[in-house]
Structure 1
Amino acid sequence: MSIPRHYVLAAGGTGGHMVPAAALAAELMRRGHHVALVSDERGVRFPGLFDGVQAHVLPAGRLSGGPLGWLRAGRKMLAGRSMAIELYRSFKPAAVIGFGGYPAFPALAAAFKLKIPTIVHEQNAVLGRVNRLVAGRVDAIATSYAEVERLKPAHERKVHLIGNPVRDAVLELRDRPYPELDEDGIFRVLVTGGSQGASILSDVVPDGLALLPPHFRARLQVTHQARPEDIDGVRQRYAEHGIPAEIATYLPDLPERLAWAHVVIARAGASTIAELTAAGRPAILVPLPSATDDHQTANAREITLAGGARTIAQGAFTAQELAKQMQKLGLEPQALANAAVRAKQCGRPRAAAALADLVEHIDAPSLLDRDAPRPLAVPA
């Protein structure tokens, strides 16, 4: 049993930052520690992720909008740092762990001021803006991929290959078999654009599935997560094509839907990739082209090269291309099962435990030895 300590987790309010932070929070609390969350208004209201965790909203501006925007952002960040300093003086954290996003910056800046140990976790295959800003000052950098772009060579000796923590409900899927699929059986497709949805998937997927050969199309059963503004149009198009489909703006039971799916059509956000590789589900990935530093394309690279997914650039993502890739994946059940195995081989199921180990030992020099590169690498 670890000695109970206090830890602060700081993350921007999107699912890509909040999901791994929630997984770490759950692991630390299982070990008897106390956890506080620092985020923005979106993050503290994220449904179902941080039950039982005290949450604090800190002001944090985005570095955009030219000189005036930068000035406003700087003022907000200074105010956020002051609020974080007050929080730390009462909560007394043993370490502060940042997960990226602008709300993490004032929390980390306050930790630097008070000389509290710090870690950042990078979910993507490209080091994010806030993590780049603080990389030189933090004590450790936990990564999700063996190769991370925009990471300076000078910082590589503080890097620990951890993986991207996922929720317990997703991790449990790793022990469940890939759903059986015979030539006449139902073929289940999950379509998800992440926490914000993706209009391009709503525009293309119904028509692409409609182009499949009749014997394949007749077997389809689809669950499609869509933006609120797209949902009526998506429902109508599936109905016109005669494809059974359940349409929703939010899937609270996403882990169970993932367990049910034979193939997933999705964006390539960090949490999506982590969940696909944890569960072992083949995918057709359409990276968001406007993602900062094109990090979704980088995220998709490992699972695609391993044979667990097919990646289609958004500019090439047409109904015809989707139908072609679906047939390559889905017409041979054994090929699909093999792709599921390859996807699972890319997973790092101990990510939450490994990150918690690093957090607990942040003061132990043996784990932070600058002469031992990547000392906590976790095998897939």
Structure 2
Amino acid sequence: MTGPNRHYVLAAGGTGGHLTPAFALAHALERRGHHVALITDERGVAIPGKPDFLPAHVLPAGRFGKNPLRWASGVSSVLEGRSMALRLFDSFEPSAVIGFGGYPALPALLAARKAGIPSLIHEQNAVLGRVNRLLAGGVDAIATAYPEVDRLKPKYMDKVHLVGNPVRPEVLALRDEPFPPFTEDGLLRVLVTGGSQGARVLSEVVPDGLAMLQPALRSRLQVTQQCRPEDLDAVRDRYSNHGIPAELGTYFENMAARLADAHLFIGRAGASTIAELTAVGRPAILIPLPIATDDHQAANVREMVKAGGARSIRQHAFTAKELAKQIQALAQRPETLATAAHAAWNCGRPKAAEDLADLIESFGGAAMQDVIRVAGEDARIASEQLAGDPA
């Protein structure tokens, strides 16, 4: 425990991208002796990985699309959620409220502002998300995962702190483990995932791309691939026809162990994925999701690609031939793959959860401290800005 016992509220949308760093922060704060509560939606309550010590509260959180006719119901939900959050704050008395993006964070952070409770937002992606863009002006600090964050207004830079993206403890524990040996005649272990629901394009392209590798490399492949349930049989047939050994599944229980064994990762470029790849130090071929909001996955890959730890292929150019070309370039010589792994490792920010916890502990106590400084009403506003706030 690093200071007096305090209460903190974390607010996050119900996806893994928002909740994984929230859970990692909850662990860090709980280890320091603090009490933590979570505000989320129905999906977030049911998501795997929620700490047992973390009570969850579901609040209404209206969505605001492009159709103004739907704004009224969104405004009503936000107001209801804000009122519920205020009642929670009255009983829980948080020292600060921390938002991780997603619509459930909106009423919680608006309530914190109304109650005069210090607040902070954490942005996992390299593009400031819609809800975080709305809230940025009213919070006390903005924590980021990347040195460059698009759509973050220059006038907010004096309260920006680069901390990184917190990852699961079981993944972080692998950081000091060496890159698995890869020799001229040893196995090349490839891990392929497309996020929590898999990705059809990976199921269609990866088996054929691996089959196009030079025989000396193709004969050494050992593949683990996550697929959608409806794609599983077709992918199994593809690998069987190519004579490539592959373990397929719709969900893998211990993904950290599989990442530890992998020499090469192929998959999407979500914020949590990149945080884990750089925490462990695994080279990657990344295919940003083309329909991601504000094309944020393409922005997420910039740092890792620039460092030499990953290669990025836009989905329209993601063909079997192009994939084989990139794998061949990375894995033809053991030293090339090892160098890429080290470059990925250098991009990692393993102290993200602790640095974020340090920043949060500065609320309600001493004056706010610089963790890693990179630069020096309500529902009506929410509906207007969410519908079309300029960057």
> TM over 0.5, yes or no?
yes
Match of 2:371 in 1: 376
Q: Deviating runs (4+, > 3 A) in structure 1?
A: 363-366
Shift of 1:68: 2.1
Match of 1:372 in 2: none
- For 2:338 and 2:142, the matched residues in 1 are separated by 35
Shift of 1:228: 2.1
Match of 2:201 in 1: 200
Match of 1:59 in 2: 60
Shift of 1:367: 2.4
- Say if 2:216 is the partner of 1:215: yes
Alignment of 1:137-148 (within 5 A): 137-148=138-149
Match of 1:277 in 2: 278
Match of 1:13 in 2: 14
Shift of 1:52: 2.0
Match of 1:371 in 2: none
Match of 1:123 in 2: 124
Match of 1:224 in 2: 225
User: Per-residue CA shift, 1:50-105, capped at 9, x if unaligned?
Assistant: 22210111111221151122222111111111111111111111111000011110
SS at match of 1:191: strand
Q: For this pair of structures, how many residues does the alignment match?
A: 373
User: Per-residue CA shift, 1:307-357, capped at 9, x if unaligned?
Assistant: 000000111000000000000011110110000000000111100000000
Structure 2 gap segments, 5+ residues each: 375-391
Shift of 1:277: 0.4
Alignment of 1:157-168 (within 5 A): 157-168=158-169
- Say if 2:300 is the partner of 1:299: yes
Match of 2:337 in 1: 336
Match of 1:318 in 2: 319
Match of 1:32 in 2: 33
SS at match of 1:196: coil
Alignment of 1:166-177 (within 5 A): 166-177=167-178
- For 2:208 and 2:248, the matched residues in 1 are separated by 15
TM-score normalised to structure 1 length? 0.96
TM-score normalised to structure 2 length? 0.93
Read off the aligned partner of 2:132 and give its amino acid letter. Answer: N
Match of 2:186 in 1: 185
Is the CA contact 2:160–2:373 (under 8 Å) kept in the aligned structure 1?
A: no
SS at match of 1:238: helix
Is the CA contact 2:78–2:107 (under 8 Å) kept in the aligned structure 1?
A: yes
Match of 1:48 in 2: 49
Which stretch shifts more, 293-302 or 248-257?
Answer: 248-257
Is the CA contact 1:191–1:265 (under 8 Å) kept in the aligned structure 2?
A: yes
Match of 2:357 in 1: 356
- For 1:70 and 1:254, the matched residues in 2 are separated by 40
- For 1:57 and 1:116, the matched residues in 2 are separated by 20
SS at match of 1:136: helix
User: Per-residue CA shift, 1:156-177, capped at 9, x if unaligned?
Assistant: 1010110000011111111100
Shift of 1:153: 0.9
Shift of 1:365: 6.1
RMSD of aligned alpha carbons: 1.3
Is the CA contact 1:348–1:378 (under 8 Å) kept in the aligned structure 2?
A: no
- For 2:139 and 2:174, the matched residues in 1 are separated by 34
